[in-house]
């Protein structure tokens, strides 16, 4: 399975990356339009919501995984979590390029933490990373303050340490091993195979 970093509306580049691939998961910040996915197999090519996604329509896209949970794509089982905070929300327009529900609300965050603790996954794919890991991957100092999502992911990591945790959001190519967990940050349109 191919894992793809933030797309940010570079839809043609995304389509080129998945061409000939059996399965893929994109880590969020796909963009605000999902029309390019109309001919993409929704069973084998999935996307996760980030903070630069259109939450008015993404739920109608069959390629969208949802808020959180266990998934199996291309025979690879993993736990996924959507969302993060836009540090530039103050210069964006709600409903056009920013959505208030870009992060899970507290009620959903607690449900996600519980589902994660029950699942004890070997692999996690999310848009952001645990708050404890942010300083090692951050490339924009405005992202240093832990978001609600980063704190939720921190609670997950505290309850269970997976073997692999892949994410985007920080636009960085970086790998760090902490204990038995390999954290892999993917840059924009960067890929890795698992």
Domains of the chain: 2-193 (3.60.21.10)
pLDDT in tens, 92-117: 999 999 999 999 999 999 999 999 99
pLDDT in tens, 119-150: 999 999 999 999 999 988 877 666 567 899 99
What predicted TM-score, i.e. pTM, was given to this entire model? 0.96
Mean pLDDT (the chain) is 95
Q: Residue 143: its pLDDT value, please? A: 59
Q: What is the 3-state secondary structure (H, E, C) of the chain?
A: CEEECCCCCCHHHHHHHHCCCCCEEECCCCECCCHHHHHCCCCCEEECCCCCECCCCHHHCCCECCCEEEEEECCEEEEEECCCCCCCHHHCCECCCECHHHCCCHHHHHHHHHHHHHHCCCEEEECCCCHHHHHHHCCCHHHCCCCHHHHHHHHHHHHCCCCEEEECCCCCCEEEEECCEEEEECCCCCEEEC
């Amino acid at each position: 399975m191919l894992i793809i970093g933030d797309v940010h509306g570079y839809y043609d580049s995304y389509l080129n990356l998945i061409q000939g691939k059996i399965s893929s998961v994109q880590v969020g910040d796909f963009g605000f339009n999902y029309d390019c996915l109309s001919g993409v197999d929704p069973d084998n090519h999935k996307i996760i919501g980030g903070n630069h996604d259109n939450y008015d329509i993404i739920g109608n896209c069959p390629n969208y995984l949802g808020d959180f949970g266990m998934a199996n794509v291309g025979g690879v089982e993993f736990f996924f979590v959507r969302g993060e905070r836009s540090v530039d929300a103050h210069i964006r327009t709600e409903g056009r390029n920013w959505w208030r529900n870009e992060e899970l609300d507290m009620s959903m965050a607690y449900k996600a933490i519980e589902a994660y603790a029950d699942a004890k996954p070997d692999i996690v794919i999310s848009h952001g990373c645990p708050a404890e890991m942010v300083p090692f991957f951050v490339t924009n100092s405005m992202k240093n303050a832990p978001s609600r999502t980063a704190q939720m992911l921190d609670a997950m990591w505290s309850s269970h340490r997976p073997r692999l945790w892949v994410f985007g959001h920080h636009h960085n190519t970086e790998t760090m091993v902490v204990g038995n967990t390999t954290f892999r940050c993917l840059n924009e349109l960067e890929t890795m195979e698992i």
